[in-house]
Amino acid sequence: MISSLNNRITNLEEATDINSTTITTTNANITNATITIISSISTYDNDIFIRVIAMAKVNDNGNNEKVANCVVTRTGVGEYTLTLNKPRPTSKYVISLAIAEDYVTRDDVLMQVVRGNVLPQSFKYFIHEQDNAGTAGVFKDAPHFVTVTDFD
């Protein structure tokens, strides 16, 4: 068991995954060790240890093109729910949303989290278009990206 992180890792060539046989630090080599404590560390040298909890790339038809640790479900036109594979301890994680937009049309499209609907295991979000001389807030589907990070 590793009790401290006083040795900074300097060579990760062999440390391509958690089951690596050797990790070289500034002061020692760690050989044939299973590192599990790192995921619970929130700070090191006053830096925040930020973890990506889940990521998704979603097509404009709602299909999950690429996901990690979550599932995105299209619940209606422009309406989505992201469900984490493993619930967080609280609902205070950070949600980042990005939308892919056509360079030529450059519509006024917004992507927002539904307020009051963030739970430890899931949250709802929606995509809508602004008026463009029509009705404001019209839901629409669009390719988009979602990232959930946390540092607790």
Do 80 and 109 lie in one domain? The reply is: yes
Residue span of the structural domain in which 40 resides = 9-48
Domain count, the chain: 2
* Cα–Cα distance, 86 to 7 (Å, whole number): 31
Which pLDDT value is given to residue 129?
87
Per-residue tens of pLDDT for the chain, all 152 residues: 344 444 444 444 434 444 555 566 666 666 656 555 444 455 566 777 889 999 999 999 999 999 999 999 999 999 999 999 999 999 999 999 999 887 887 777 899 999 999 999 999 999 998 866 677 788 999 999 999 999 86
Partners of 97 in beta bridges: 146
What does 100-114 look like in DSSP terms, one character per residue? ---TTT---EEEEEP
Do 59 and 128 lie in one domain? The reply is: yes
Do 97 and 35 lie in one domain? The reply is: no
Residue 18 falls inside a structural domain: yes
Look up residue 49 and give its amino acid.
F
Do 85 and 100 lie in one domain? The reply is: yes
- CB 17 within 8 Å of CB 31: no
Please enumerate in sequence order all residues whose Cβ is within 8 A of that of 46, keeping only pairs 6 or more positions apart, or say none: none
* Cα–Cα distance, 29 to 143 (Å, whole number): 45
CA distances, 58 to each of 32, 63, 73 (Å)? 38, 6, 9
Do 145 and 113 lie in one domain? The reply is: yes
Predicted model pTM: 0.69
Which pLDDT value is given to residue 75?
97
Residue 141 falls inside a structural domain: yes
* Cα–Cα distance, 35 to 33 (Å, whole number): 6
Residue 1 falls inside a structural domain: no
Which pLDDT value is given to residue 24?
61
Do 35 and 64 lie in one domain? The reply is: no
Do 27 and 95 lie in one domain? The reply is: no
Residues written for the chain: 152
Do 56 and 38 lie in one domain? The reply is: no
* Cα–Cα distance, 92 to 95 (Å, whole number): 9
Do 61 and 34 lie in one domain? The reply is: no
- CB 151 within 8 Å of CB 53: no
Do 65 and 122 lie in one domain? The reply is: yes
